[in-house]
């Protein structure tokens, strides 16, 4: 079995993005029967979906997990739903800043993740890592990409489980922000290893 793990390049003036730090750190690791293959996505509307779809087509994974940065969160957030809306408070890395724009014209208003979210949250918590189900992936490139991935899988009728996980700031990011919560890379890696191990056993 193969798991495609995708993270994003830094954005918003940050020097790093925890999503890519985690994804690249786990690249080619094995979790029971799952081998991880990692890809880096641009923090750019449109391009992130195109590159995610290209990666899915090339890798042909059994599981797809996209990771994203959610500064201000205190724990791992497993996203339940992606909305068909782009509404950016800041510009992406190409200067795009859509406002109240559909991601896909004429497509469903939302897609639900197909990962066992509640089970994953419980197992990550058992490992001592703060985690919760999230009902909002935002309206920036993270939600945009999650929606695009789920739409592609649904339209192509692919037997792939997919979802999105948000990560807090790394400590080096939070140190320059007043009272911003953070999580160590080691804790994030532990959480994702738990997620991948559970998925390898629930297939």
CA-to-CA distance for 73 and 180, rounded, in angstroms?
Answer: 8
Evaluate if residue 35 carries a pLDDT over 90.
yes
pLDDT in tens, 123-162: 999 999 999 999 999 999 999 999 999 999 999 999 999 9
Evaluate if residue 43 carries a pLDDT over 70.
yes
With cut-offs at 50, 70 and 90, classify the pLDDT of residue 22.
very high
pLDDT given at position 203 = 62
pLDDT given at position 177 = 84
pLDDT given at position 42 = 98
Pairing mode, strands 30-31 and 34-41: antiparallel
CA-to-CA distance for 150 and 103, rounded, in angstroms?
Answer: 12
Residue written as token pair 């449109």 = 46
Residue written as token pair 């020097």 = 15
From the centroid of its chain, how far is CA 2?
17
R_g (Cα) of the chain, nearest Å = 16
CA-to-CA distance for 16 and 170, rounded, in angstroms?
Answer: 9
Average pLDDT, the chain: 96
Phi, psi of 126 (to 5 degrees): -60, -30
Residue 26 vs residues 87, 134, 186: alpha-carbon distances, Å: 31, 23, 11
Domains of the chain (ranges; CATH) run: 2-201 (3.40.630.20)
Q: Active-site positions?
A: 79, 142, 166
CA-to-CA distance for 113 and 188, rounded, in angstroms?
Answer: 20
Least confident of 142-146, 171-175, 187-191, 194-198: 171-175
């Amino acid at each position: 079995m193969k798991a495609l793990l995708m993270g994003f390049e830094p954005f918003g003036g940050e020097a790093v993005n925890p999503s890519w730090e985690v994804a690249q750190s786990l690249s080619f690791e094995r979790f029971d029967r799952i081998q991880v293959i990692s890809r880096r996505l641009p923090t750019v509307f449109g391009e992130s979906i195109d590159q995610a779809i290209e990666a899915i087509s090339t890798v042909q994974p059994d599981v797809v997990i996209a990771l994203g940065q959610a500064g201000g969160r205190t724990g791992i957030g497993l996203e339940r739903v992606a909305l068909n809306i782009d509404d950016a408070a800041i510009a992406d890395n190409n200067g795009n800043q859509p406002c109240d724009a559909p991601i896909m014209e004429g497509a469903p208003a939302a897609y639900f993740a197909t990962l066992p979210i509640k089970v994953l949250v419980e197992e990550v918590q058992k490992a001592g890592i703060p985690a919760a189900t999230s009902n909002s992936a935002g309206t920036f490139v993270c939600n945009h990409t999650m929606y695009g991935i789920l739409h592609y899988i649904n339209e192509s009728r692919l037997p792939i489980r997919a979802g999105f996980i948000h990560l807090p700031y790394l400590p080096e990011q939070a140190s320059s922000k007043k009272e911003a919560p953070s999580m160590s890379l080691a804790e994030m890696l532990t959480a994702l290893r738990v997620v991948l191990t559970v998925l390898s056993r629930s297939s």
